[in-house]
Amino acid sequence: MKVRTTTVAVTAVLALSLAACGSKGSRSTSGADQDQLTIGVSMSLTGSLAREGLLTRSGYEFCQQVINGKGGIPVGDRKVKLNLVFQDDTSSPDTAAQLIDQYNDKGYKLVLSPYGSAATEAAAAVVERNGQVMVDSLGADDTIFEKGYRRTFGVLSPGSEYAASIVEALHDLAKPTPKTVIFLSADDGFSKSVTTGGEKAARGLGMTVLPTQFFPNGASDVSAALSKAKALHPDVIIGSVHFVEGVAIIKQSKELGVRPQGFGETVAPPTPDFPQTLNELAEGVLGSSQWVSSGKGSDKWFGTSADYATAYKAKFGEDAQYHAASASAACLALVMAVEKAHSLQPDAVRDALASLDTPSFFGPIKFDPTGKNVTKQMSVIQIQHGEAVPVWPADVAQKPLIWPGAA
Amino acid sequence: MNAFLQSTVYGLLQGGLLALVAVGFSLVWGVMNVINLAHGAFVVVGAYVAWQLNEWLGLDPFIAMFGSMAFLFVTGYLVQRLLVNLVVNAPVFITLLLTFGLDLLLTNGLIMIYSGNYRAINTSYALKSLALGGVRVPVGRLLGCLLAVACSLLLVSLMKRTRTGLAIAATGMDRGAARLMGIRARHIYALTFGIAAALAGLAGAMLATVGTFSPADASKYTLFSFVIAVLGGLGNMYGALAGGLLLGLVESWAGQYLSGTLVNAVAFGLLVLVLVARPAGLLGRPFYESRLEV
């Protein structure tokens, strides 16, 4: 019995030693061997952001398929295949940061961002400390880029553009032009960035901005904010919100008899769930989108926006949304940087990202010194007959704005 | 004044819905001393069953809710009999772990089946409002609130006037003595769990009618249930109703008169206040007080 116990113990020690050796070995490779580049991704596959996380993962996976389908990334005289490794962060920013740290221990120096601003912000701090490099797909909060980080690059337009683009679209297209606007905002960092940007744009365009009403992030009851808004009789209500609060604004406005000329909301309306959940109540609601399939620009991997949309639908059987497109664009930026750097070393890739200036199916990709992609313009969509139709800016618009927009 | 009345009415209606969510949770905790962390998942399953019946058969949610209740009753009965019963004598920490695991299983199972999309049951009437002076009373929420009151009354009548109800109450007070009186504790526990799950199913159908739902909402409903059960107190079937209405009202007033971001702080501040002033909860019986000390 004693011999058997000793044998088990020794075997266990040996197994642990071997595992440790393996770990050390991979650490020196920067996530890459001769033919493969491993990129770590922490993603909300379960938890409160699972829906958005799964859409984001689809975008990353689609990128991997396209790149590998075309032979891989040219690096010097060889081609390197992409190998994306996903782990579930359960929609928790702390877990996302831990996973990024673990990727570093495994030698994965290049990473793609988790879903959302909170997780991306947590991950960015770890990336900076470890000397990793991260391309951010869907963390739009401006504060991520205001901390002096040098190794995080966001392909998407920053949060401050979300509501501002709706305000500009209304100013350009709505007749009669709305004179008063009220922002109803969730209280998380991203939503507050959105609101601040929207308020600034509205004041700049001569609109009267009524006192903003806040409610907790994720609230399914926004009746108090709507009651206060109702008393102020705004021409337009703009929600700086996520999906749940966005739907609550529309549904509870109906219940409480709040009837402005129109509603604008940031991230909820472009998702197919929005018109499906609200039916005719969704009609006329404006939303801002990072990407639309009628967008301009193309690249050698994905082609045009329309090509991307067609290929995505062929693979997944559903229309591409901006979540997936933004994820694919982040992956694309990393691929382009690796190709440009002729290297898989993180410092070289980081420098290549910083100097990237290229068109793509997602729009132009060019980062300012803080890592924000400031050259890309957001689009504004409106729900018309159950579809999210681009209405602004003019070069991507597919139909004219219907105004007043409230159903 | 109008704003005050509107926020009061809306808060009461919202509170009624919350009470409906919590009443089953409170029942199980009071009778079995099990804090069912999967309760929110049961609510969401109830919403999906009603939604599925609406999609397949076009059933109105006020009819589909019976389907939800039946499905959840059977599920709840079996879950207790085959799973929770294995650890019902164990320390409360073990039942917490088990029901937490069950919650993960159900929530992620729903994500696998339904992909985590947000859904709602749309009806022609739920979002319409009755106008009483300057105050609007949404029909869907009003019906949900009335159902919560009706369920509480039914539950009280079940517990006080039927042999099964008396057996449930007796088992909750002293299982050993109840068994000596010939009560089959295992069956009574499973029945209690089944009733609680059915009530969760009913709440899910109502929530799907007035709002949206997705698997990720499960933890939110469990948290609401916990707060309401503690607020209202255990051992009194009106406890959840009182706790729910109070929570809804306070949240609504806080949103109306303070910054909206303070709503949660005020709600949880109220919880602390009630626990300091009345450790057994608003309507809780002193016998059950010890169960709150977990």
Q: State whether B211 and A91 contact (CB < 8 Å).
A: no
Q: State whether A214 and B261 contact (CB < 8 Å).
A: yes
| pLDDT in the model for residue A119 | 96
The label of the residue with tokens 């926020």 reads B7
Q: State whether B215 and A50 contact (CB < 8 Å).
A: yes
Under an 8 Å CB criterion, which residues of A touch B?
46-51, 54, 91, 187, 213-216, 218-221, 223-225, 227-228, 231, 243-244, 247-248, 251, 254-257, 273, 276-279, 281
CA closest to A50 among chain B residues? B116
| pLDDT in the model for residue B294 | 45
B50: closest CA of chain A, how far (Å): 15
| pLDDT in the model for residue A34 | 65
Closest in B108, B212, B219 to A247, CB measured: B212
Looking at mean pLDDT, say which of A188-192, A212-216, B46-50, B159-163 comes out highest.
B46-50
Question: What is the number of H-type helices and E-type strands within chain A?
Answer: 12, 17
Nearest Cα neighbor of B7 from B287, B250, B284 is B250
A-B CB pairs within 8 A amount to 107
Which tokens belong to A168?
């500009």
Which tokens belong to B153?
């009354």
Q: State whether B214 and A51 contact (CB < 8 Å).
A: yes
| pLDDT in the model for residue A31 | 60
Task: Report the complex ipTM.
Answer: 0.85
Q: Which of B44, B130, B214, B217 to mutate to test the interface with A (most CBs of A within 10 A)?
A: B214
Mean pLDDT of A41-66: 91
A239: closest CA of chain B, how far (Å): 14
Mean pLDDT of A175-194: 93
Ramachandran region, residue A315 (left: φ > 0; alpha: ψ -120 to 50; beta: rest): alpha
B14 vs A contacts (CB less than 8 Å):
221, 223
Share the mean pLDDT of chain B.
Answer: 90
Kindly list the distances between the CA atom of residue A113 and the CA atoms of A72, A103, A142, in Å, as whole numbers in the listed order. 21, 12, 15
The label of the residue with tokens 């009628």 reads A294
Kindly list the distances between the CA atom of residue A252 and the CA atoms of A93, A249, B10, B146, in Å, as whole numbers in the listed order. 31, 5, 10, 19
Q: Is the pLDDT of residue A18 over 60?
A: no
Are B21 and A238 within 8 A, CB to CB? no
B210: closest CA of chain A, how far (Å): 8
For the stretch B71-86, pLDDT in tens is 999 999 999 999 998 8
Percentage of chain A beyond pLDDT 70 is 91
Q: State whether A247 and B118 contact (CB < 8 Å).
A: yes
For the stretch A124-179, pLDDT in tens is 999 999 999 999 999 999 999 999 999 999 999 999 999 999 999 999 999 999 99
B102: closest CA of chain A, how far (Å): 14
Characterize the bridge pairing of strands A152-154 and A180-186.
Answer: unpaired
Task: Tell me how far apart the terminal alpha carbons of chain B are, to the nearest angstrom.
Answer: 42
Q: Is the pLDDT of residue A310 over 90?
A: yes
Q: Which of A244, A267, A318 to mutate to test the interface with B (most CBs of B within 10 A)?
A: A244
| pLDDT in the model for residue B73 | 97
For the stretch B104-130, pLDDT in tens is 999 999 988 988 888 999 998 988 899
CA closest to A186 among chain B residues? B261
Least confident range from A13-22, A261-270, B56-65, B150-159: namely A13-22
| pLDDT in the model for residue B278 | 87
Q: Is the pLDDT of residue A13 over 50?
A: no
Nearest Cα neighbor of A157 from A383, A325, A311, A395 is A325
| pLDDT in the model for residue A170 | 96
Mean pLDDT of A95-105: 97
What is B195-243 written as a DSSP string?
HHHHHHHHHHHHHHHHS-B-GGGHHHHHHHHHHHHHHH-SS-TTHHHHH
For the stretch A311-362, pLDDT in tens is 999 999 988 988 999 999 999 999 999 999 999 999 999 999 999 999 999 9
| pLDDT in the model for residue A3 | 38
For the stretch B219-253, pLDDT in tens is 999 999 999 999 998 878 789 999 999 999 999 99
Q: Which of B8, B118, B213, B253 to mutate to test the interface with A (most CBs of A within 10 A)?
A: B118
Nearest Cα neighbor of A42 from A86, A105, A92, A82 is A86
Dist. CA B260–CA B253, nearest whole Å: 10
Q: Which of B2, B54, B103, B117 to mutate to test the interface with A (most CBs of A within 10 A)?
A: B117
Q: Is the pLDDT of residue A397 over 80?
A: yes
| pLDDT in the model for residue B22 | 95
Dist. CA B174–CA A216, nearest whole Å: 43
Q: Is the pLDDT of residue A48 over 80?
A: no
Q: State whether A50 and B117 contact (CB < 8 Å).
A: no
Which tokens belong to B75?
């599920």
| pLDDT band per the 50, 70, 90 thresholds, residue A27 | very low
Least confident range from A70-74, A137-141, A215-219: namely A215-219
B166: closest CA of chain A, how far (Å): 38
Q: State whether B6 and A256 contact (CB < 8 Å).
A: yes
Q: State whether A254 and B7 contact (CB < 8 Å).
A: no
| pLDDT in the model for residue B291 | 62
According to DSSP H, which parts of chain B are helical? 2-32, 39-57, 61-82, 92-114, 139-161, 163-173, 175-180, 185-210, 218-232, 239-257, 263-277
Dist. CA B294–CA A381, nearest whole Å: 51
What fold is seen in the domain B2-116+135-288?
ABC transporter involved in vitamin B12 uptake, BtuC (1.10.3470)
Contacts of A366 (CB under 8 A, 6+ apart): A356, A357, A358, A373, A374, A375
What are the extents of the domains in chain B? 2-116+135-288
Rounded to the nearest 10°, the torsion over CA A155, A156, A158, A164 is 150
Residue A40's H or E segment, with its range, is: strand A36-43
Nearest Cα neighbor of A264 from A149, A385, A164 is A164
